[in-house]
Structure 1
């Protein structure tokens, strides 16, 4: 791949997904795009780039974006956010939503489903404290491939061993050959949908909690700010945002303030520009 080809790929990825690649990541692009070229019977990355430059093959462009934006995930990754959900966020929302008993959660960049399913299991484990409540859990990702796996809820032995407590494996999974199938009751709690974080958020409605972890680190500063400010407009006035351990709102937007002594947890610092909540069924694709 020539330097010119790499620059084009970097620009394409930024425009289509917000992903910002540094100059020294050419090796990563080459390793991830060679399989794409082979699947499409394209002889070289130069030829692949020529096809992309033509701009007429949207399916190929989408495949390239998916290949570059698929990221690692595992169950209960960095337990701190899940402790925040269990010990602070949900108790606060339960107290505040006693009149209509509905809580909406959005898990952005859900990848192959381990994060939203971890949230679902944590909710299930809260038991009677959520009796009578309707919990709407939306999980989105830009990649249809990872969403297909997430909907299936089938994981390898290696995947269920990474972060998943053994008692939850026994309680919520059944073995299916060499794979583990997550229980239907947990799968039904999550609605998966393809969504690009560069898109308009308002059609999703509003949320009491948004989990957007390990996404902003791949964006340049202007894109980070734009995503955070769009998130602020779809989070309820007393709702919460959870970011990854290496992410922050400092220097990017004044829309959020950190929750004291709760790493990665944020609340709104203002209540303007709210959007009207939409029922989850309107999100069906």
Structure 2
């Protein structure tokens, strides 16, 4: 790939998604964008980038950004954050919010929806403890394509086997041929919206809990700081932020503080 082509596409991806693509990730561009080039009837990446440079190619630039955004996810991914939610954050918030009986939870970079729906199932499993409570789960992602799949809530056998207990599969899903679809009571608990974390989040309102896991690892230091400080603006002063196991706020921002006995959980500083 010509240096000027690499500079163009890597710069566009950073501007639109925060994704950092170095020269060592050329293979990633090839593997993810070659299928898109073929669907467009283009011989390869050189021709694809030439098309992207045209002023009228906004849809193509959006498709390229979607293709390059990592959408790895699964039900109950890494399990520990959901245990922390169930045994620590949620009981604390239920006590604090007992007067208004309302909670708002945000699953940022929700991809195809498994994280948001895991939270919905976790709440459903609490049964009578949440009777009379208004629970609002918002799932957002940059990609409209993955959000369409999240809203459809239909998953392959492989996808439901990754982390989802068989008891919950039987209880909350119905089989549709070779796929499994979440039942309406769980689907109705989650509202999905298109949202770019780089653009600020004030339009989404204030949240009691934010899950923003395995997202910051793809950003440079300055973008991490900006995103974290934007998240602080929409998190309640006594709320909780959940990050991925390889992520931290230390050395990036002083707007959050880690909770020593709860790895991956952060509170506003």
Q: TM-score range by the shorter chain?
A: over 0.9
- Corresponding residue of 2:149: 149
Looking at structure 2, the residues matched to 148 and 203 of structure 1 have their Cα atoms a distance apart, in angstroms, of 21
Looking at structure 2, the residues matched to 163 and 98 of structure 1 have their Cα atoms a distance apart, in angstroms, of 32
Looking at structure 1, the residues matched to 82 and 182 of structure 2 have their Cα atoms a distance apart, in angstroms, of 19
Looking at structure 1, the residues matched to 70 and 243 of structure 2 have their Cα atoms a distance apart, in angstroms, of 18
Please tell me whether residue 61 in structure 1 is matched to residue 92 in structure 2. no
Please give the residue correspondences for 1:223-262 in structure 2 after superposition, counting only pairs within 5 Å.
223-262=223-262
Looking at structure 2, the residues matched to 172 and 49 of structure 1 have their Cα atoms a distance apart, in angstroms, of 44
Please give the residue correspondences for 1:50-199 in structure 2 after superposition, counting only pairs within 5 Å.
50-199=50-199
Shift of 1:260: 2.2
Q: Deviations over 1:47-78 (max 9, x none)?
A: 11112223431100000000000321110000
Looking at structure 2, the residues matched to 188 and 113 of structure 1 have their Cα atoms a distance apart, in angstroms, of 13
Contact 2:200–2:227 (Cα < 8 Å) also in 1 = no
Looking at structure 2, the residues matched to 27 and 2 of structure 1 have their Cα atoms a distance apart, in angstroms, of 14
Q: Deviations over 1:143-164 (max 9, x none)?
A: 1111111101101111100000
Contact 2:106–2:138 (Cα < 8 Å) also in 1 = yes
Give TM-score scaled by structure 1 length: 0.93
Contact 2:71–2:112 (Cα < 8 Å) also in 1 = no
Looking at structure 2, the residues matched to 70 and 186 of structure 1 have their Cα atoms a distance apart, in angstroms, of 25
Instruction: Kindly report structure 1 stretches of 4+ aligned residues shifted beyond 4 Å.
Output: none
Give TM-score scaled by structure 2 length: 0.98
Q: Give the SS at the match of 2:136.
A: strand
Shift of 1:9: 1.0
Looking at structure 2, the residues matched to 40 and 157 of structure 1 have their Cα atoms a distance apart, in angstroms, of 30
Looking at structure 2, the residues matched to 216 and 54 of structure 1 have their Cα atoms a distance apart, in angstroms, of 31
Q: Give the SS at the match of 1:263.
A: coil
Looking at structure 2, the residues matched to 22 and 168 of structure 1 have their Cα atoms a distance apart, in angstroms, of 41
Q: CA RMSD in A?
A: 0.9
Q: Deviations over 1:158-198 (max 9, x none)?
A: 11000000100010011100000111100000001111111
Contact 1:70–1:143 (Cα < 8 Å) also in 2 = no
Instruction: Return 5+ residue gaps in structure 1 as ranges.
Output: 270-285
- Corresponding residue of 1:22: 22
Shift of 1:44: 2.1
- Corresponding residue of 2:31: 31
Looking at structure 1, the residues matched to 111 and 82 of structure 2 have their Cα atoms a distance apart, in angstroms, of 17
- Corresponding residue of 1:42: 42
Looking at structure 2, the residues matched to 146 and 211 of structure 1 have their Cα atoms a distance apart, in angstroms, of 18
